[in-house]
Amino acid sequence: MTRYHQLAEEMSGRIRAGILRPGERLPSVRSVCRSHRVSPATVTQAYKLLEDRGEIHARSRSGHYVSAHLGGRPLQQCSVSRHSGASAAVAVRDLAFELIDTAGRRDFVPLGSAFPAPDLFPLRKLARALYSAASRLDPQSIYEQLVPGNADLRRMIARRYLETGCNVPVEEIVITTGALEGLNLCLQAVTRPGDAVAIQSPTFYVVLEAMERLGLKAVEVPTHPRDGISASTLAAALDRHPIKAVWLMTNFENPLGCLMPDNEKREVVKLLAERDIPLIEDDVYGELYFGADRPRPAKAFDRSGRVLHCSSFSKILAPGYRVGWAAPGRYARLVERAKAMTTIATSVPAQAAIVEFLKHGGFNYHLRRLRKAFESQQSPMLQAIARYFPAETRVTRPEGGYFLWLEMPERVNALEVHRLAARQKITVAPGPIFSPQRKFQNCLRLNYGLPWSQKVESAVATVGGIVGSLA
């Protein structure tokens, strides 16, 4: 047995003995080097082996952690995306609407919702900011900054970009009605009906809707559940299809929760610049990281203005206020014009309220609490899945955001799970709604953005029971 196998077995033994418990951090590579007199490569190989076996998982810049267990058996991690790219006319139907519809119903447990629990947000403080800002609003100013939006807000956003390694001039930023409007406008700015657009697979159903409206074709690119799209996989898709634009969620994708490593982001940006293809970057979850630092957007590597970066306050501060923005690089003026010609402006008082909160509300403090809440809600959800779902179930373990992606046993039909769960007033998001070709038949997206409670645990147990009965 090699030294790294021995080390892996030793750590595995500690986990089995309960010395290292689910959620706990393993000793750092450096400290194991010292205590065992081995090289960093040996420790890294040992940890990699345990990661591949699903016993531990890494969090960027934070270390290695013990994974959730089912009895003595580690919960398996989703490791591969088996689905290959193909061009297809987009057709997305009623199910996605049903999920949005039930998200707000108090009699449902919304495990399938795309929204986190509203009580995680400082809604009272925001209401005070709204009142204060709106009552001080100079009447003339209402018309002064309709497009591209509130000047103070754009300045503050530009300042935050600097912290993520992006140098975005204030003039590039267009305030939009949520990220979704920005994304739609960006997509419209860089495509014509009939164009092919590369998307992650699986992807958020709203992306598919947006493409359908514009008469675009989706090229689904296989996406790794942990690392997202790689530059080489994307290059292969670009070689096969006449792709005119790429739409990626680089940080904590919806639904996989995957995070593209920096070097892949850099390579993708370089590849697309070489081929003169714009990248629409949907980064609404980038601030919801569990590691030490915010992951960088692909925009940070853009030197040619081809990255159209979109985000919003919807998931991080002010759900329902519908304030987002786009930083569309060389396409900024096109997007600004399109914004003016569609909705003219984003609500002026809502923008003023966000400015007021960013100035005086303790935004960074709120963000730290929100990240902690999501991170702490992930573990019990994983443990409940390990306890209540069939043994072959595989699950992702994202380093941010609030979505888990599950691969159930092959024969389980996610649409059937959805139907049976809905009868018990529980929603789940079935895999096929995340693919224009209705792939991911045996997959589910679950939301852990809900404070953990007996009710949520019973709902997970019920869904696990349903899955077990179909397996």
Residue closest to ligand PLP (Cβ): 178
Contacts of 423 (CB under 8 A, 6+ apart): none
- Smallest distance, Å, CB 401 to ligand PLP? 9
Minimum CB separation of residue 105 from ligand PLP in Å reads 17
The H-or-E segment that residue 327 falls in is: strand 324-327
| Shortest spacing between CB 438 and ligand PLP, in angstroms | 20
Which two tokens mark 253?
């994708």
For the bound state, the minimum distance from the C-beta of residue 275 to ligand PLP, rounded and expressed in Å, comes to 25
Q: Which is nearer to ligand PLP, 258 or 300 (CB)?
A: 258
Distance of alpha carbon 152 from alpha carbon 158, whole angstroms: 10
Both tokens assigned to 335: 């997007």
Residues 166-225 close enough to bind ligand PLP by CB under 6 A: 178-180, 204
- Cα distance between residue 418 and residue 466, in whole Å: 9
Residue 217 vs 315, nearer CB to ligand PLP: 315
Contact call for residue 312 and ligand PLP (CB under 6 A): yes
249 is a contact residue toward ligand PLP (CB under 6 A): yes
254 is a contact residue toward ligand PLP (CB under 6 A) = yes
Q: Does 114 bind ligand PLP (CB under 6 A)?
A: yes
Angle, helix 332-342 to helix 178-190, in steps of 10 degrees? 120
Residues 22-51 contacting ligand PLP, CB under 6 A: none
* Both structure tokens of 161: 């970009």
Nearer to ligand PLP, 8 or 323 (CB): 323
| Residue 102 contacts ligand PLP per CB under 6 A | no
Is the CB of 185 or the CB of 466 nearer to ligand PLP?
185
Among 67, 191, 200, 314, binds ligand PLP (CB under 6 A): 314
Q: Which of 55, 267, 282, 356 binds ligand PLP (CB under 6 A)?
A: 282
Task: Please report which helix (H) or strand (E) contains residue 427, including its range.
Answer: strand 426-427
Q: Least Å distance between CB 288 and ligand PLP?
A: 11
Task: List phi, psi (to 5°) of 241.
Answer: -125, 150
Neighbour-count burial for 76-88, b at 16+ CB within 10 Å, e otherwise: bbbeebebebbbe
3-state secondary structure of 86: coil
**Do the beta carbons of residue 430 and residue 405 sit within 8 Å?**
no
Taking the complex as a whole, how short is the minimal distance between the CB of residue 432 and ligand PLP, in angstroms?
A: 17
Task: Specify the residue, 284 or 443, whose C-beta has the smaller distance to ligand PLP.
Answer: 284
Q: Say whether residue 281 binds ligand PLP (CB under 6 A).
A: no
284 lies in the binding site for ligand PLP (CB under 6 A): yes
Say how far residue 349 (Cα) sits from the centre of its chain. Answer: 28
Report if residue 400 touches ligand PLP, rule: CB under 6 A.
no
Beta-bridged to residue 116, according to DSSP, are none
Binding characters for ligand PLP, 128-157, by CB under 6 A (x = yes) = ------------------------------
Assess 386 for contact with ligand PLP (CB under 6 A): no
Going by DSSP bridges, is the β-strand pair 196-201/243-248 parallel, antiparallel, or unpaired?
parallel
- The 49-68 contact track toward ligand PLP, x by CB under 6 A, reads --------------------
Q: How far is the CB of 283 from ligand PLP (least distance, A)?
A: 9
Q: How many residues bind ligand PLP (CB under 6 A)?
A: 12
Q: Where are the beta strands (DSSP E) in 25-96?
A: 56-59, 63-66, 69-70, 73-74, 76-77, 87-89
Q: How far is the CB of 32 from ligand PLP (least distance, A)?
A: 38
Q: Is 11 in the site for ligand PLP (CB under 6 A)?
A: no
| Strand stretches in 160-314, DSSP E | 174-176, 196-201, 217-222, 243-248, 279-282, 307-312
429 is a contact residue toward ligand PLP (CB under 6 A): no
**Shortest Å distance, C-beta 72 to ligand PLP:** 36
One-letter identity of residue 385: I
| DSSP letter, residue 78 | P
Nearer to ligand PLP, 248 or 382 (CB): 248
- CB 229, min distance to ligand PLP, A: 14
Handedness of CA 207, 212, 216, 217 (dihedral sign): positive
Q: Residue 26's Cα: distance from chain center in Å?
A: 26
Are 278 and 246 a contacting pair, CB within 8 Å? yes
* 3-state helix vs strand vs coil in the chain, percent to 5: 45, 15, 40
Length of the chain: 471
404 sits near ligand PLP (criterion: CB under 6 A): no
Residues that bind ligand PLP (CB under 6 A): 114, 178-180, 204, 249, 254, 282, 284, 312, 314, 324
